[in-house]
C-alpha cells in the first residue's frame, strides 16, 4: 500500500479507531466496478450533516480528504474526514486544524 503524503497524516486514539471502524462497517457498500468497500457520497452527506458543522466547513473537509476524481470514501479517507470533523467541532473553527492532523500515524495504516 502506498504511503500517505506527510500533510495527510493524522493521529487517531484507540477510542477513535474503534468508533470510526464501527461507523465504517455500518455504512459501507461495495463500490460498483471495483468491489472496494466505500462509504458513498450520499451516505457521507447524510452522516456528516449530523455533525452540525456549516456546509462550508463540510465542503472544506470533503475537498481536503477526497481526490477530485473520486465520488466515494474508502476507509482511510472516511477516518480522516471523521477526525477533521471532530477537530473542527472541538475548536469551533476550521483555522489551524492542519496542526492537529499531523501529530501521528498515517490514516491508511489503521
3-class DSSP state of 38 = strand
Q: For position 84, what pLDDT does the model report?
A: 87
Q: What is the pLDDT of residue 99?
A: 59
pLDDT of residue 105: 34
Give the total residue count for the chain: 110
For residue 16, what pLDDT is reported?
A: 87
- pLDDT at position 67 is 84
Query: What pLDDT is attached to residue 108?
Result: 35
The CATH class given to the 6-97 domain equals: mainly alpha
Q: What is the CA radius of gyration of the chain?
A: 13
Structure confidence at residue 21 (pLDDT): 93
Q: pLDDT value at position 106?
A: 37
Q: What are the structural domain ranges in the chain?
A: 6-97
What cell does 107 get?
490514516
| Alpha helix ranges (H) inside the chain | 14-27, 41-49, 55-65, 75-91, 97-101
Q: Collect the ranges in the chain with pLDDT lower than 70.
A: 1-9, 92-110
pLDDT, position 6:
53
Amino acid at each position: 500500500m502506498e504511503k500517505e503524503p506527510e500533510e495527510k497524516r493524522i493521529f487517531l486514539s484507540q477510542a477513535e479507531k474503534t468508533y470510526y471502524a464501527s461507523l465504517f462497517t455500518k455504512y459501507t457498500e461495495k463500490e460498483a466496478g471495483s468491489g472496494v468497500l466505500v462509504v458513498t457520497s450520499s451516505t457521507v452527506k447524510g452522516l456528516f450533516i449530523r455533525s452540525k458543522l456549516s456546509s462550508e466547513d463540510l465542503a472544506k473537509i470533503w475537498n481536503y480528504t477526497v481526490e477530485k476524481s473520486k465520488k466515494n470514501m474508502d476507509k482511510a479517507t472516511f477516518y480522516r474526514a471523521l477526525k477533521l470533523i471532530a477537530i473542527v467541532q472541538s475548536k469551533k473553527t476550521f483555522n489551524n486544524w492542519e496542526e492537529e492532523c499531523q501529530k501521528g500515524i498515517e490514516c491508511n495504516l489503521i
